[in-house]
A and B are shown apart, each in its own frame.
Chain A
């Protein structure tokens, strides 16, 4: 039984009354001087999901823009029985496809995140030119010191160089290191890009021997040798890029802030373990007692739990990655007894170093 419909051919806006025949192959329609046309079931779609009692608007892939408008409930029911794909709405196959897409996108996103955060930064850090690292280190050191006095005395500087030199005996490939002491009361030490190491007056005054300071210094050299601060710098910039891409904004370039300084200084537990291992190996090879680092950690363990609320302490540091100080202490073994140990610097040099901030 043919039904009446209105046909738009997609070429002109004129509407043509047609009569439509439905069979299992598809639709055929003609009228108003129009030669008969056939729309096969494959390629037939409903513009809006069909709703009972509403007008059905049909279209076909073979004829872009063309529309067949039918207002006949029986016709709609018959058509939907032959071609259930026109119903739209919930379709398990489409839902599967859609979930698959979401799953794949999330997996791709996780992959990009993993690469950006874990793998790439360390690789890029190794490639960074000397000059860039140096400049970043210099700038961050300035930001970190926050105007605190730079401690220098001829005798103190000599003692510091001597300590560095005796540690260097333990690693012929030690990267170039610039150690500076600042007049900061807090007991802390920081490694920045470009081999810049900052020690505080608090660290030097509150340790009870040169080997403890040497241990901390060796640990920091470990971070520098593994380029941890550079990797961290690349990592935050990567996150900034991802964020600005995801949100569609063009933020970024704000690495001078205290927050990003804190991020550069925050090392992962793996990085800490690497630096500890490096320090112990270096000290043993340099014939310096590695338990100096251990004694230092024990001191830190006692300090932990005390409330701290200065900006510098919130920046985090080598030794304040919370869980695990005890664990790290356990991993530091004394040097084999066959190795004759010597102090990192002489006692008189140690006295000079302790007076470096006046």
Chain B
């Protein structure tokens, strides 16, 4: 590395080297979070990040997470104080003054949801900026140099567009959002760039979209067929009998109602399992495409994301979450990070020795909005 001065740069190897201790950390975090009625969660999150970051190696040097629980806690208090508390007090006073069913309260609630929708993007952006600014590699930290409000408005616009276009705007607007956030990303003075069109995403998107439509129609069809086969006065009589106060149905009636409910529930469940599985195809395509659109220095990225591996990742994560009653959440985060580390390749070279610290000021608090909205970030 030190000998490479004068050369255009060096290739970058990414490696995840697990370290023992995450299990104990998870249990301690869980217990302290309960003991402190949830307040410890900021410190818990920080400890987990410290652990996971320190397992990620770029060319033999680990990342380092320098954030502090207190910063997250202060961020939370600030958002609570300037954003949530006034709203809660207003609802309190209005329901005291005009009763709890006053339309002003519903209007306020709608306003709150609207504000949350408008600020959601800002929360995502600021959380990302905080994490980058608390990430050190070889003593250099990252950041986002743009405006969280511009990102937030784009994000809100993309929500509206997605609703009105039945989702068809998603590939374009996801690309725009990714371009903004990657274009704003810096590691020291090394700028990341994102360039590419949404077009190549559309065939996969269309496939998933139509398959989803087919799944929904099939589901409705199955239920409708079931109703058609069983319909008639016997069906309504059976339902009335089973659901009255003191039911005494014949075995036939029980069977009819039982199958009916079973079919509806199973179809419903199947649709809810099939649809996210279908969309893993698109997610994999989008992740891989976005990685290939990203450059830093003379390097581009290549992410080997596949639908199958994503589905396996998510299913195992869900199982971990369920069987550890949520205590194992840090392992889920580790698995997500590890998935990226194992499958991300940097192609080309980066002149690491030339990277200098950026002079961007560090914020003193972190992620307030993201915590308040429970934005899904690691």
Contact = CB atoms under 8 A, between A and B. Distances in A.
Nearest to A138: B99
A185 interface: no
Most buried by A among B36, B80, B88, B109: B88
Given A13-B137, A13-B140, A246 B38 contact: yes
A250 B112 contact: yes
A57 B54 CA distance: 11
Interface stretch (B89-97, B244-252, B334-342): B89-97
18 contacts: A11-B356, A11-B357, A12-B353, A13-B140, A13-B353, A14-B138, A15-B138, A16-B2, A102-B35, A136-B96, A139-B99, A233-B96, A237-B95, A244-B88, A246-B37, A252-B95, A254-B100, A255-B95
B39 to A, nearest CB: 7
B225 interface: no
B7 interface: no
A245 B139 contact: no
A139 B88 contact: no
A13 B188 contact: yes
Given A48-B54, A102-B36, A255-B95, A8 B84 contact: no
Contacts of A322: none
Nearest to A257: B100
B139 A66 contact: yes
B197 to A, nearest CB: 32
A10 B100 contact: no
Contacts of B105: 253
A334 B371 CA distance: 62
Given A11-B357, A13-B355, A245-B80, A253 B138 contact: no
A223 B210 CA distance: 65
Nearest to A106: B36
Contacts of A244: 84, 88
Interface residues of B, number: 48
B374 A248 contact: yes
A135 interface: yes
Nearest to A241: B88
B212 to A, nearest CB: 31
B357 A253 contact: no
B186 interface: no
A109 B371 CA distance: 21
B253 to A, nearest CB: 30
A10 B371 contact: no
B37 A109 contact: yes
Most buried by A among B97, B105, B374: B97
Given A13-B355, A253-B91, A65 B136 contact: yes
Contact of A14 (B76, B92, B352): B352
Interface string A227-263: 0000001100100110011111010111110000000
Most buried by A among B36, B92, B101: B92
A237 B92 contact: yes
Contact of A47 (B36, B64, B138): B64
B1 A15 contact: yes
Given A12-B140, A105-B36, A128-B96, 6 more contacts: A12-B188, A12-B354, A14-B352, A65-B141, A253-B94, A254-B100
Interface in A114-170: 128-129, 131-132, 135-136, 139
Interface in B83-133: 84-85, 87-89, 91-92, 94-101, 105, 109, 112
B87 to A, nearest CB: 6
Contact of B88 (A12, A135, A245): A245
A17 B88 contact: no
A9 B64 CA distance: 15
A196 interface: no
Contacts of B39: 105
Contacts of A266: none
Contact of A256 (B96, B100, B140): B100
Contacts of B1: 15
B275 interface: no
A256 B92 contact: no
B372 interface: yes
B88 A252 contact: yes
A11 B354 CA distance: 10
A26 B64 CA distance: 24
Contacts of B54: 47-48
A248 to B, nearest CB: 6
Nearest to B98: A135
Contacts of B141: 65
Nearest to B97: A132
